[in-house]
Amino acid sequence: MTTLANIEINAAYPFAMEKRVANAIAMRRRSTNVEDAEKPFYVVDLEPVVSRFLAWKTSLPCVEPHYAVKCNPNPVLLKTLSALGAGFDCASSDEMDRVMSMGVSADRIIFANPCKMAAQITHARQLGVMRMTFDNEDELLKVAQYFPEAELVLRIATDDSHSQCRFSTKFGAAMEDVPSILETAARLNLNVVGVSYHVGSGCGDPRSHAAAATDALAVFHIAKQYGFSMSLLDIGGGFLGEDNPSPSVVDIAVNLLPVLAQFPPGTRFIAEPGRYFATACHTLVANIQSRRVVKDRQGHITNCLYYINDGVYGGFNCIFFDHKHPLPRTMLLSDLEDRAIVPSTVFGPTCDSLDCVCKDVPMPLLGIGDWLFFTDMGAYTTAATTHFNGFDGAVDYVYMYGDIIIAPSLLETVDSVSLALAQLVPATVSTASHSDDVEIISAPDSPVLGMEEEC
């Protein structure tokens, strides 16, 4: 039997995440060499992925989540979502290949890139990925040439003024352009099967979804004038992923479901949540490599500069690309109460002065070799990591389900992930069987996934 989680941790730790990070650090120190043990890494907790999937199926039972691969293409995250039954939103040949290599069928994928390269349209045709989005007449001409039998989904613009990242400046047909676009599609004898929209990534107003769906319903009616009987609505993304978000998926459902009920019977509803699943499951753990203490003339510490082994060219690229403001959390040390609290600035490892994670954050005085960790680091972090200045950032992972560490060997395929989840969350996956490779420290509650429901 492989022992996966048998590490002593301080029972005085008051917070679950500190326990898990300490557990992961101890395991890495035991299983890797000294140099590798000090490298940055991610703790990936699959429990919030499962719990969010269950919450989704409860709140929006008639909407099939298609995970936005661009948000975080971590293979274990993809396999977990596949095991749970999610579909996938892919925007490139690479993403389609990545998902299908896990055994995901083409009918669980939407090629959700309104402006595609011709070679990638051809690739989708070769893979049998039929559904793809578009938002203009030139794209229709391209599809007519390379994939005339595709099932096309017209993306419309939305009011995304309440979102962190606004997309309608780049994608989405204006409502006044819809008739001419559909007329062109009819003339080219193409098959337009539905509508998509995206209220923007990290949307803060639940009413935005209802407003966009109302516009989409109008497009359904307009489409009939051009011979199209639409049967698919893709409500896009914009669902927040932190714990206790506002708006929550429940808030969105309250506003959205009454509009979805107005669509023709038999309409299929899908969505493209990314950060909703990815945000909370990743915690970035970094080691303090260097330190500079700044003192005034009287010798009092006025500031402390820390240099950690990941930065804005690694996982913290989200500071620039996703408007994120990550804050460090410290491990609980035995003498923590005796340490002075000083304004602290945390820099990444590169020689670029822009490589700054946070400034003037009150922190206990720490030393070289101490650890910091940053929660909610799963969305739009690893996907844009670079090798600038020769630094890789965090490329190692410790996988957990709550307090349980899971061996990488159990996470190699969708089937093996299904087996692991079956023991961790009984009845989650119907194909599950007992595995002797998982040692449970404390068994979590075991929610059961329900059957598909109608809105």
Say yes or no to pLDDT of 99 above 60: yes
What one-letter code names the amino acid at 408?
Answer: P
Residues β-bridged to residue 284: 42, 374
Quote the CA–CA distance of 442 and 428 in Å, as a whole number.
Answer: 18
Indicate the pairing of strand 301-308 with strand 341-347.
parallel
- Whole-number Cα distances in Å, 86 to 51, 200, 272, 403: 13, 21, 10, 25
- Half-sphere exposure for 86 (CA within 13 Å, toward CB): 32
Q: How many CB atoms lie within 10 A of CB 105?
A: 11
CA geometry: angle 59, 63, 69, nearest 5 deg: 105
Tokens of 178: 């819809």
* 314-356 pLDDT per residue, tens: 999 999 988 899 999 998 666 667 788 999 999 999 999 999 9
The reported pLDDT for the residue numbered 168 is 60
Share of the chain above pLDDT 70, in %: 86
Quote the CA–CA distance of 69 and 283 in Å, as a whole number.
Answer: 19
**SS3 assignment, position 449:** coil
Q: What's the CATH code, domain 16-45+281-398?
A: 2.40.37.10
Quote the CA–CA distance of 208 and 314 in Å, as a whole number.
Answer: 33
Evaluate whether 160 touches 208 at the Cβ level (below 8 Å). yes
Say yes or no to pLDDT of 154 above 80: yes
Per annotation, catalytic residue among 304, 351, 358, 455:
351
Mean pLDDT, rounded, of the chain: 87
* Those residues with Cβ within 8 angstroms of residue 111's Cβ, 6 or more apart along the chain or in another chain: 90, 91, 96, 120, 124, 129, 131, 132, 133
Say yes or no to pLDDT of 193 above 50: yes
Whether the bond into 426 is cis, omega within 30 of 0: no
- Whole-number Cα distances in Å, 207 to 178, 199, 204, 423: 23, 10, 9, 39
The reported pLDDT for the residue numbered 323 is 86
* 228-240 pLDDT per residue, tens: 999 999 999 989 9
The reported pLDDT for the residue numbered 334 is 66
What are the backbone angles phi and psi of residue 277, rounded to the nearest 5°? -90, -30
pLDDT band at 244; cut points 50, 70, 90: confident
* 354-380 pLDDT per residue, tens: 999 999 999 999 999 999 999 999 999
Q: What residue has token string 């120190």?
A: 29
Tokens of 276: 């909703």
Say yes or no to pLDDT of 63 above 90: yes
Tokens of 410: 């159990």
Would you state the torsion angle of the CA atoms of residues 17, 20, 22, 25, taken in this order, to the nearest 10 degrees? Answer: -130
Residues β-bridged to residue 295: 301
Tokens of 72: 């975080």
**SS3 assignment, position 276:** helix
What one-letter code names the amino acid at 41?
Answer: F
**SS3 assignment, position 131:** strand
- Whole-number Cα distances in Å, 416 to 337, 420, 428: 44, 6, 13
Quote the CA–CA distance of 124 and 110 in Å, as a whole number.
Answer: 10
Quote the CA–CA distance of 366 and 172 in Å, as a whole number.
Answer: 49
Task: Tell me the residue ranges of DSSP E strands in 228-281.
Answer: 232-234, 268-271
Quote the CA–CA distance of 107 and 127 in Å, as a whole number.
Answer: 10
Look at residues 263, 255, 143, 267 and name the one whose alpha carbon lies nearest to residue 208.
Answer: 255
Q: What residue has token string 């989540």?
A: 65
- Asked about 351 being catalytic, the answer comes back as yes
The reported pLDDT for the residue numbered 413 is 93
Evaluate whether 310 touches 316 at the Cβ level (below 8 Å). yes
The reported pLDDT for the residue numbered 166 is 53
Tokens of 405: 């560490």
CATH pick for 47-279 out of 3.20.20.70, 3.60.20.10, 3.20.20.10, 3.40.50.300 = 3.20.20.10
Rounded mean pLDDT, 177-181: 96
Quote the CA–CA distance of 42 and 34 in Å, as a whole number.
Answer: 18
**SS3 assignment, position 6:** coil
Quote the CA–CA distance of 449 and 426 in Å, as a whole number.
Answer: 10
What are the backbone angles phi and psi of residue 272, rounded to the nearest 5°? -125, 55
What are the domain boundaries of the chain? 16-45+281-398, 47-279
Quote the CA–CA distance of 432 and 450 in Å, as a whole number.
Answer: 16
* 22-60 pLDDT per residue, tens: 999 998 988 878 788 899 999 999 999 999 999 999 999
Name the strand (E) or helix (H) holding 27.
Answer: helix 16-31
Whether the bond into 264 is cis, omega within 30 of 0: no
The reported pLDDT for the residue numbered 101 is 97
Tokens of 385: 């990591």
